[in-house]
Amino acid sequence: MGTLALAAKITHVPSMYLSEMDGPHKGCRDAAIAGHREISRRCRELGVDTIVIFDTHWLVNSGYHINNAAHFQGIYTSHELPHFIKNMPYEYDGNPGLGEAIAEAATEAGVHTRSHSDTSLTLEYGTLVPMRYMNEDRHFKVVSISALCTVHDLQDSATLGAALRTAVEENYDGTVAIFASGSLSHRFAQNGVSEHYLHKVWSPFLEDFDHHIVRMWEDGDWETFVSLLPEYADKCHGEGFMHDTAMLLGALGWDKYQGKAEVLTPYFGSSGTGQINAVFPL
């Protein structure tokens, strides 16, 4: 019998990598990096062996997919923002057995999910950026799940999250953490003015509503949040249409979840988007 030990909504902004580099932006994302390192510390303390990431940079147009290769290694440059993340080396170990167990449980629950262990699929930066700061010593195995789901229902993603928990607790002998890797509002700054929005949210409306959502999380008002989620994802440009968040909440109990979020990295703007690191207690 396995254990789901830690759950979190995390940022993966590429300016975290830029923050490492000498130049005018050095240190600009120290708070976000510190939040990742604190999550890593807690995972180690809890005995976590595998991190499962719902990655809003892995776009899929049909079905649900899990990258559960045995090993990941490469040099990554972002296609979207090659001036932010370029030539970033990575190497992590995977967990094929866990990925297969999750896919089987989700499919059995009615959400057809494919696992890919014998694959040339690489990792996207929704996984790579957090792992750079949480897993530089390859302490944790990594499983990545597609969460930029273009034609999918949020309820199906919640069902996948619930199935993941079933797979961990009934078919896995180990300890797992899950991360929804994505922003709150995700309206990128307009081309031509993006430099002015490196530390800002695109509009006061989006920023105000993001703060409203974070207060719901801190108050544990999950029934209201879940009811708002489809419209919030649409009107506030939720990253990955908020499928990462639906998966996370599905694993926690959806509108029946009782916990209150603990904010580790306070809400901040980045290139127009709204970002946070927050732990969802189990």
Residue 154 in tokens: 């949020």
Residue 117 CB partners (closer than 8 Å, separation 6+): 68, 69, 70, 94, 96, 99, 100
* Overall pTM surpassing 0.95 (yes/no): yes
CA distances from 236 to 127, 162, 213, 232 (A): 23, 25, 11, 5
Interhelix angle 125-134/30-46, nearest 10 degrees: 70
Would you list the DSSP string of 73-91?
EEEE--SS-TTTS-SEEEE
Q: Are strands 64-67 and 141-149 parallel, antiparallel or unpaired?
A: antiparallel
What would you report as the CA-atom Rg of the chain, rounded to the nearest whole angstrom? 17
Domains of the chain: 3-279 (3.40.830.10)
What string of pLDDT tens digits covers the 282 residues of the chain?
899 999 999 999 999 998 999 999 999 999 999 999 999 999 999 999 999 999 999 999 999 999 999 999 999 999 999 999 999 999 999 999 999 999 999 999 999 999 999 999 999 999 999 999 999 999 999 999 999 999 999 999 999 999 999 999 999 999 999 999 999 999 999 999 998 999 999 999 999 999 999 999 999 999 999 999 999 999 999 999 999 999 999 999 999 999 999 999 999 999 999 999 999 999
